[in-house]
Amino acid sequence: MVSRSYSNLLELASGEAPSLGRISRRIPRIMTVPGIISDIDDDPSESVCSDPSSSSTQKDRIIMVANQLPIRAHRKSDNNKNGSSSSSTTTTSNNWIFSWDDNSLLLQMRDGLGDDDVEVIYVGCLKEEIHPNEQDEVSQILLETFKCVPTFLPPDLFSRYYHGFCKQQLWPLFHYMLPLSPDLGGRFNRSLWQAYVSVNKIFADRIMEVINPEDDFVWVHDYHLMVLPTFLRKRFNRVKLGFFLHSPFPSSEIYKTLPIREELLRAFLNADLIGFHTFDYARHFLSCCSRMLGLTYESKRGYIGVEYYGRTVSIKILPMGIHMGQLESVLSLPETEAKVTELLKQYCDQGKTMLLGVDDMDIFKGISLKLLAMEQLLLQHPECQGKVVLVQIALPARGRGKDVKEVQEETYSTVKRINETFGKPGYDPIVLIDEPLKFYERIAYYVVAECCLVTAVRDGMNLIPYEYIISRQGNERLNKVLGLEPSTPKKSMLVVSEFIGCSPSLSGAIRVNPWNIDAVADAMDCALAMAEAEKQLRHEKHYRYVSTHHVGYWAHSFLQDLERTCREHSRRRCWGIGFGLSFRVVALDPNFRKLSMEHIVSAYKRTTTRAILLDYDGTLMPQASIDKSPSSKSLDILNSLCRDRNNMVFIVSAKSRKTLTEWFSPCEKLGIAAEHGYFLR
């Protein structure tokens, strides 16, 4: 079968039917080790088409692409090097033990798609560095056992790509942090940007090894791989490609400070469907497209679309959810029950009320602001001293650098000062936990806490409130530990920053400006003093939403829209134009024909009644022209057209009727459509 995607712009210019390229062979659905298939055409300019007869009986395939694979890798110790595991979710190589990472979003999404309907292939990096001599073996094992395609990056390249460009330049800017000085955020560094592009190119190469371009769907995740859509679209003009941004998208005033702003926008637009957590993030993106690329967008039947060179790029707005099954299974663990019992003795049995914060130790999570609000609460309400405890769980930061150290130092010093001021024997108002906690231990804190505080100054989504709500719903075993009857309504309270992605979804939470310390302290007091019935109503409302809008619902909804968006692919003729990151695809109707001079002249001579509409601004008169009035030569040509009785000639312009009447007064039979056709003569 001949590929139906084209990259030759000369064919478009000639107006001829696209030439038939080399016959493309079907790529196997799973490829083992890179480079072992010799009969595959390696020309990246050709689009490869799969054989529909052989794929019709197979499941839909989705290639999930993210910075990290949902895999845990552990190097074998010398004493168990010869050991092996028979577990269905664990496998070994000569030197490594591999298992699923249950906390990975990519793995959690699979449960919502259904193994019977969808086959999922994962492409990404491993957290551990694999020696080049071991990479072929590891690739084979991960592909056969886990359907994972590892992307191996040299350590130096990975550091410049991830810790350099992603974490020091993109991540701060997308969280509204401008690099006003070298110490504040990361100034744009061209070499780091080149490393970022190189890594995205390597990811594209790995995807090429396993993709059936006209059958498979590709779903790319987050800001680590924002130029990947361009590389994929360049290889296969009609690839079915979705992209979801898990971080905030900043306002145009912030985004336009990025030196490579247009390259990233065009890369986004090489996807078919772009997903955002909130309406604000999508609105900011559309505003950037409008102001920097001059693109228009409209809403049709509830779907937002951006017109881009004949393609309609759809915009999806849907907040992500949590994995209900995983959370409920952890709630049922005996270890969780034991930890809840321990915390009840430590706090509730001592007459103390627990407030809880769970945050990464980074500059945008607002930990210090939360601590200051707690201090303000103790100052304004002395009755809370000795009774209210803020437990702050500080998870390890995902990045590294000077800013992380500064946050740690500020947090430690603030906690020490507040505890010295308000602490008593047997009572510390703030308990800081900065050592790694197991997931069940964190869940136990959720179960016991009366209120959860999320005061991030900027966060893409933040699922901590969702986890807290489900944990507070509990189960029968936890009800017994807590001394509750099965019919007792559950309750929970949330104080959340208005600058995080989950905030619009939690209408029963107390929303705060985290920078306003007094307001956060008042919100904490309100959460503690609120009537029990009100807490129960808010919890019930939140639980209904979180339990139905889970990660499976989110993934299924996104892929449904991706499938809908890509239905028009087979009805379009596509040409790739542009070089490098300026590449884009022009999509035209199959019946499109180039308007040639020979056809115009022939049709003109054959017809006896002709309507000729001539645009003035930018067509008859160049936009850059200083003198906008028509030349004498233009007037002579118009007059010669108007003298032919078979012609009806109109000038169409945005100019006023007065101006056009004066300019074209020598043309007696010329029709005028002034002010975009509002006035006709």
Q: Which percentage of the chain shows pLDDT scores above 90?
A: 65
CB 185 within 8 A of CB 172: yes
Spatial separation of the C-alpha atoms in residues 281 and 501, rounded to whole Å: 9
Token pair 């006035």 is found at 679
Mean pLDDT confidence for 235-263: 95
Given a cut of 80, whether residue 23 has pLDDT beyond it is no
Within its chain, how far is the Cα of 382 from the centroid? 45
CB 492 within 8 A of CB 477: no
What pLDDT sits at residue 76?
A: 83
What pLDDT sits at residue 590?
A: 80
Q: Indicate the average pLDDT of the chain.
A: 87
Mean pLDDT confidence for 309-315: 94
- Three-state DSSP class for residue 500: strand
Given a cut of 70, whether residue 538 has pLDDT beyond it is yes
What pLDDT sits at residue 89?
A: 67
Classify 429 in phi/psi space as left (phi over 0), alpha (psi -120 to 50) or beta: alpha
CB 478 within 8 A of CB 464: no
Closest C-alpha to 360, from 436, 443, 248? 436
Token pair 């590891």 is found at 138
Least confident span in 15-19, 95-99, 366-370: 15-19
Given a cut of 50, whether residue 55 has pLDDT beyond it is no
Given a cut of 60, whether residue 252 has pLDDT beyond it is yes
Least confident span in 153-162, 187-196, 315-324, 564-573: 564-573
Mean pLDDT confidence for 358-380: 95
pLDDT in tens, 132-172: 999 999 999 999 999 999 999 999 999 999 999 999 999 99
For residue 2, the tally of other CB atoms under 10 A from its CB is: 12
Mean pLDDT confidence for 204-217: 93
Catalogue the E-assigned strands of 469-548.
494-497, 510-512
Given a cut of 70, whether residue 41 has pLDDT beyond it is no
What pLDDT sits at residue 281?
A: 97
Spatial separation of the C-alpha atoms in residues 512 and 495, rounded to whole Å: 7
- Three-state DSSP class for residue 44: coil
What pLDDT sits at residue 302?
A: 79
Mean pLDDT confidence for 601-624: 86
pLDDT in tens, 616-651: 888 888 877 788 888 888 888 999 999 988 999 999
pLDDT in tens, 201-210: 999 999 999 9
pLDDT in tens, 467-519: 999 999 999 999 999 999 888 999 999 999 999 999 999 999 999 999 999 99
Beta bridge partners of 427: 424
What pLDDT sits at residue 397?
A: 83
What pLDDT sits at residue 58?
A: 62
Spatial separation of the C-alpha atoms in residues 630 and 663, rounded to whole Å: 7
Q: Which of 80-94, 330-344, 590-604 tops mean pLDDT? A: 330-344
What pLDDT sits at residue 500?
A: 96
Least confident span in 299-303, 509-513, 549-553: 299-303
Q: Which of 110-119, 347-356, 599-608, 667-676 tops mean pLDDT? A: 347-356
Q: What is the largest CA-CA distance in the chain?
A: 104
What pLDDT sits at residue 573?
A: 85
Spatial separation of the C-alpha atoms in residues 564 and 569, rounded to whole Å: 10
For residue 207, the tally of other CB atoms under 10 A from its CB is: 25
DSSP string, 562-622: HHHHGGGGGG-EEEEE-SGGG-EEEEE-TT-----HHHHHHHHHH-S-EEEEEETBTTTB-
Given a cut of 90, whether residue 396 has pLDDT beyond it is no
What pLDDT sits at residue 4?
A: 37
pLDDT in tens, 441-462: 999 999 999 999 999 999 999 9
What pLDDT sits at residue 6?
A: 35
Q: Who has greater pLDDT, 93 or 319?
A: 319
